[in-house]
Amino acid sequence: MNSNKSAATVLIVGARSDIAQALAHTYGAIGANLILAARNVSTLEPLRSDLILRYAISVVLIEFNLLAPVPEGLVKRLPLLPDTVVMMAGLLGTQSDSVARPDVADVVMQTNYVAPARLLLAFAAAMESRGNGTIIGVSSVAGDRGRASNYIYGAAKAGLTAFLSGLRASLTHSGVHVLTVKPGFVRTAMTKDMKLPAPITADPEEVADAIVRAARARKNVIYVRPVWRAIMTIIRVLPESVFKRLNL
């Protein structure tokens, strides 16, 4: 393996998702070394081999359960403190299951907000001590306003969005940058049973490219397709009396 020891190192948490794997290829193509953290990480061995063969980079696999009692313990388990941390972990679930079963709702909320926030807090502290770094959190347009169809998931993503905003502000003078990503609809395994409108639906590769470009430009918040900013602006400003009657 001919890895470049001077290259940037990127940690992707939740590396088994379609977007995460596309992101691994996008970062690999620009020469970044990778640390991929996920449950059942052995399933990523084919991806690891492909990345090494294609890009001659270092790829380390870390078995990691975000819902472990102390998710922030991952920081000490890593071979080094990465230059960039990307929080890709997420769980859509179904609204009906979350409403009917508190344990299911808890897993959705823990996976999308509580555990990611705890882990990113730990990385933020370590990067602040070092004086540099990039934290990328993948949130969702679902967090822009609670909608009847997915308010459990949306509320958790709203929490993550607010957390990332506060973290970004608190690290303004630290050398650590925080990017919030709101993909909108994406064609992935998580959405395979949903009827998604093509004009506002992205592919994982499009999301990955947008993330890398936004991180390089040190942007604060991006909607992967700009149309989503307009859509969610309209949804946010609707009067509550109107909004609650809509089938959204």
**179 - beta bridge partners?**
136
Annotation says 223 is catalytic: no
- Residue 113 CB coordination number (10 Å): 23
Picking from 10, 54, 56, the residue whose alpha carbon sits closest to that of residue 34 is 10
Q: Which of 55, 113, 153, 223 is catalytic?
A: 153
> Rounded distance, CA 215 to CA 177, Å?
8
> Rounded distance, CA 214 to CA 57, Å?
22
**34 - beta bridge partners?**
10, 59
DSSP codes, the chain: ----TTS-EEEEESTTSHHHHHHHHHHHHTT-EEEEEETTGGGGHHHHHHHHHHH---EEEEE--TTSS-GGGHHHHSSS--SEEEE-------HHHHHH-HHHHHHHHIIIIIHHHHHHHHHHHHHHHHT-EEEEEE--GGGSS--TTSHHHHHHHHHHHHHHHHHHHHTTTTTEEEEEEE--EE-SGGGTTS---GGGEE-HHHHHHHHHHHHHTT-SEEESSTHHHHHHHHHHHS-HHHHTTS--
Active site residues: 153
